[in-house]
A and B are shown apart, each in its own frame.
Chain A
Amino acid sequence: MDIIDHKGLPQLIIILLYLGALLALGLFSSRLFKGTKEDYQVASHSIGPFLLLMSMFGTTMTAFALVGSSGEAFKEGVGVYGMLASSSGIIHSLCFFVIGVKVWKLARRNHYTTQIEFFRDRLQSDFIGLLLFPILVGLVIPYLLIGVISSGVVVQSLTAGLSPDLFPVIGPDGNPIRALNGGVPTWLGSLVICVVVLVYVFFGGMRGTTWANTMQTIVFMILGIVTFYVIASKLGGQDGLMANLKALGESIPENKSTRIEMSKMKFFTYLLIPLSVGMFPHLFQHWMTAKSANTFKVPLICHPIFIMIVWVPCVLVGVWATGSLMPSKPPLPLIPGTNVVNANAILPFLVNTQTGNILSGLLAAGILAAIMSSLDSQFLCLGTIFTNDVLTHYKGKENVTDAQQVLYTRLFIIAIVAITYGLGLLKPPSVFALGVWCFSGFSALFPIVFAALYWRGLTAAGAISGVFAAITSWSVMFYQAVQQGTLRTFVLELPFGGETYEVMPVVAMLLSSLVTMIIVSLFTPKPSEAVLARFFD
């Protein structure tokens, strides 16, 4: 009874049990390891439909799916579902269908594991690989940092009260910060998460990653629904779920239950952001694990529904927190040093204040599951890129044995985890605002992969120019946003017919990449017919 009542302790125990289960799963999966590079990096192309669905869904859903969705709904209202979730349901599956299946076929035929191997072969250009390598790695690293930093923050906030003497958190006014005081420090929480992910990726490779992702996806989906039910029952104060839902629905203020404060053009142009999935290097590697083309069918169909199952409850919880049924005490968590409500802390806050310690611990495990299910794929993917596209490519395949490639991939993974953890300790101030910029960067490269698969006229010079155009426009707008201090909210303002429309920067990035790629391709030499014949039936 004492353990259950001790604030922070049940949460810590549940987190540790969950991490232990993950480690066991990862180590067990390593017993099936065949010792080859192909098995380590793509699980010998043996993954069936269910595991592919769960691993791809877990990889694309970060902590943002649970914590950020409720936080954004708290700030912007129900419109965030259309802006971020239903759009992803359409576009992600479109990418699986249009890019994933086709690229899988070509990769199986020509033995690619990474995007860079595909582009080098398709365009007969070594330089495209050299160009894409730093861009892909550079766009993945902030994404990784968000996961590493978030994991520490989640562990600390959900174990708050555990040991105020050992882990004091004092505010600028000299008083303890209640929401964090006594929680496991962020450096320790992040370290433990990184080590756990490292262990199961190191030993289990892609098979361990896929199994772990599957378990984690099941965990965060179930816990999300349980959390929704418990919070609805507590906040609503009525008898029965429907009565609670109705009471809470009526309590939502009009500006949150509609989109009266949301720009229609911004909502529309947000549709381009999910195209990033077509160029995510870690998702590309997951596609390569598919046993057959038909394996893609289940993920294609279920992905939009899964997004709905996770997002709708979180968005509802977020808008309920703005309503009249939200208790005034304890007060909503604020961003330290300001009077602004910390929207990303809304869900953990509600769980801490409206549910018991056990559910709070389970939710912590659920959020960590969402974080780790993206981190593992990204670590593995960067290790694979370094090994295949740099080391093996320049050393020569004939000079590196299969076993050595597995060893190098593992060593690179250790290095990447260590570097990311080190960067995370520096707590770069704007890293969370970088999320949408990373996604926009990947989206801007979408025309290149699409044209490589469907346009015989694409040339190496066209693709290289398109990549340069994408990254140049990205850099120019990023610089403007930094200068204006609007990294999180930066939009292009388009005057038309006496009105000004807000357009997401991804539109300009994608158009510049697309137009440049087409124009340059029209005037430069194509790869030979023999090469094209290998890519176009």
Chain B
Amino acid sequence: MRSLSQKSTGMWIIAALVVLLLILHQDNWFWTDDTLVFGFMPIGLFWHACISIGASLTWALATVIAWPLDDAVTAEPETKSEEAAS
């Protein structure tokens, strides 16, 4: 279980990464660039596909360093997973 201070630092790291993603999202530098990445993908589209991947990585990190709830505290043992049941 992570300590409160570790979780708090994690939250700030995730907040900073989200702000960074939002800044990178406004990619004025590629606005008029018609370069084709890999010979077929317009760079504006490629950049934003990378933003999507970056978002996934950021949220993956959030589940490790900044997860707000501990299942040990919140889980209710009587519930049964659908996936476990099927």
Which A residues contact B (CB, under 8 angstroms)?
Answer: 43-51, 78-79, 81-82, 85-87, 89-90, 93-94, 97, 101-102, 105, 108, 207, 210, 242, 245-246, 248-250, 252, 254, 257-260, 262, 264, 267-268, 271, 291-294, 297, 300-305, 307-308, 312, 315-316, 319
Contacts and interface: CB of A to CB of B under 8 A. Distances in A.
Interface in B40-86: 40-42, 44-45, 47-49, 51-53, 55-56, 59-60, 62-63, 67-71, 74-76, 79-85
Contacts of B82: 43, 46-48, 51, 207, 210, 291
Nearest to B55: A304
A271 B25 contact: yes
B85 to A, nearest CB: 8
Contacts of A44: 79
Contacts of A319: 42
B25 A86 contact: yes
A237 B76 CA distance: 58
Contact of A308 (B52, B75, B84): B52
A43 to B, nearest CB: 7
A300 B58 CA distance: 10
B83 to A, nearest CB: 4
Interface residues of B, number: 46
A2 to B, nearest CB: 39
Given A90-B18, A249-B39, A308-B49, A105 B55 contact: no
What's the dominant secondary structure at chain A's contact region? Answer: helix
B13 interface: no
A258 B84 contact: no
Nearest to A305: B56
- Which of B34, B44, B55, B67 lies at the interface centre, i.e. has the most chain A CB atoms within 10 A of its CB? B55
A173 B69 CA distance: 64
A48 B84 contact: yes
Nearest to A241: B40
Given A47-B82, A259-B44, 10 more contacts: A44-B79, A46-B82, A82-B25, A93-B59, A94-B18, A97-B62, A258-B34, A300-B59, A304-B56, A308-B49
Given A46-B79, A86-B55, A90-B55, A254 B48 contact: no
B40 A254 contact: no
A257 B81 contact: no
Contacts, number: 158
29 contacts: A47-B81, A49-B83, A50-B83, A51-B82, A81-B44, A82-B25, A82-B51, A89-B56, A90-B51, A90-B55, A101-B69, A105-B69, A246-B39, A249-B36, A249-B40, A249-B42, A250-B36, A258-B34, A259-B44, A264-B26, A271-B22, A291-B82, A293-B68, A297-B63, A300-B63, A302-B56, A304-B59, A305-B52, A308-B49
B44 A78 contact: yes
A79 B47 CA distance: 11
Given A90-B51, A105-B74, A301-B60, A252 B25 contact: no
Contacts of A267: 26
Given A90-B25, A252-B42, A258-B42, A46 B80 contact: yes
Nearest to A93: B59
Given A93-B59, A307-B52, A245 B40 contact: yes
Contacts of B79: 44-46, 291-292
B74 A108 contact: yes
Contacts of A301: 56, 59-60, 63
B52 A248 contact: no
B31 to A, nearest CB: 5
Contact of B81 (A46, A250, A303): A46
A51 to B, nearest CB: 6
B76 A108 contact: yes
B52 A85 contact: yes
A294 B74 CA distance: 10
A319 B82 CA distance: 41
A308 B33 CA distance: 21
A62 B24 CA distance: 27
B28 interface: yes
A248 B40 contact: yes
A90 B83 contact: no
A433 B82 CA distance: 38
Contacts of A315: 45
A258 B33 CA distance: 6
A293 B69 contact: yes
B45 A48 contact: no
B44 A82 contact: yes
B55 A89 contact: yes
